[in-house]
Amino acid sequence: MHINKSIYSNNLLVELKIGEIYCKSVLNKSLLYDIDYSINPYIGCEHGCRYCYGRFYVGYKFRDMPWGEYVYAKINAPRVLIRELKRNSNGRVLISSITDPYQPLESKFMITRRILELLLKSNFEIYILTKSPLILRDLDILSKFNNIYAGFSFINLNEDLRVKFESKTPPVMERIKAIKTLRDSGIKTYAFIAPLMPLNEKYVYDLMNKLVEVGVEYVVVDRLNIHGDPLKYINDLTSFLPIHHRNSIRRILIYGYNKYYNFMKNKLTEYSKEIGLNIFFSY
């Protein structure tokens, strides 16, 4: 099945290509630190965040398709997972690593929900990572787990920057409210601040304060992962910024990002101690 749906991408009206695909595996070995397996219910992601590295891990069939303008649902994923769970049901699983499991089309396909229903019968420790309050739809299932963490991804607390970098994602405060709802329902939560960009650091501190307020268990900070042609990637990422900001940020990303990231690691570590926030860094 292939259908098109009109959406706005970078302020342009485009057609979102929606398809169904059959997968051979669901429970895939993960290269991420401290995660044994990843599950990605979809190929592609309607959110289409400018900085997302997911576009480089979708396979050659999709490489030439604009990121954020296609989504293929793995419609046989639950059936494949049933078979895989018979072989292995231990370890840590991340849902998802290269797509959002609660992007808008999940309300139609419900693949993530069906996967969670199956994982409920396993001994896996489950980590969910999303940008969408749609996760609240599955509170009835999530509340049955003893070993699940629901996480939300942010770049910072500033809504104007959210619109610039990830215009098709839910507003930042909707995610904050969803974290509070999950916490109030007894579900463990965490936050993922990624990527750490050389923008106004006050917005990151504001976000950390808000996360303490809603009671997340911990925060993970990740660096910007630059893939493909670095100069093209950085130019595309910063093209919408005012020229004076654009040039200074490009210089940092091209020539000094490692130094910037290490500098911010120290600052965020110290600030997290001040406000009582558990913080970890991917690198």
The per-residue pLDDT for 88 is: 81
Residue whose tokens read 């909707």:
174
- pLDDT of 272 > 60? The answer is yes
Give me the residue spans of the domains in the chain: 152-283
Give the mean pLDDT of 113-142: 97
The per-residue pLDDT for 14 is: 63
* SS3 call for 60: helix
The per-residue pLDDT for 33 is: 78
Mean pLDDT of the chain: 92
The per-residue pLDDT for 51 is: 94
Computed on alpha carbons and rounded to an integer, the radius of gyration of the chain in Å comes to: 19
DSSP states of 120-146 as a string? Answer: TTS--EEEEEES-GGGGGGHHHHTT-S
Which class does domain 152-283 fall in? alpha beta
The per-residue pLDDT for 61 is: 83
The per-residue pLDDT for 163 is: 93
User: Which tens digit of pLDDT belongs to each residue from 170-215?
Assistant: 999 999 999 999 999 999 999 999 999 999 899 999 999 999 999 9
Q: β-pairing, 92-95 with 125-130?
A: parallel
Judging by beta carbons within 10 Å of its beta carbon (0-12, 13-18, 19+), is residue 81 exposed, middle or buried? buried
Calpha distance 61→77 (Å, rounded): 19
**Of 205, 201, 197, 179, whose CA–CA distance to 274 is shortest?**
205
Helix (H) / strand (E) containing 4? strand 2-9
User: Which tens digit of pLDDT belongs to each residue from 73-110?
Assistant: 999 999 999 999 998 878 999 999 999 999 999 999 99
User: Which tens digit of pLDDT belongs to each residue from 152-169?
Assistant: 999 999 999 999 999 999
- pLDDT of 58 > 60? The answer is yes
4: pLDDT confidence band, cut at 50, 70 and 90? Answer: low
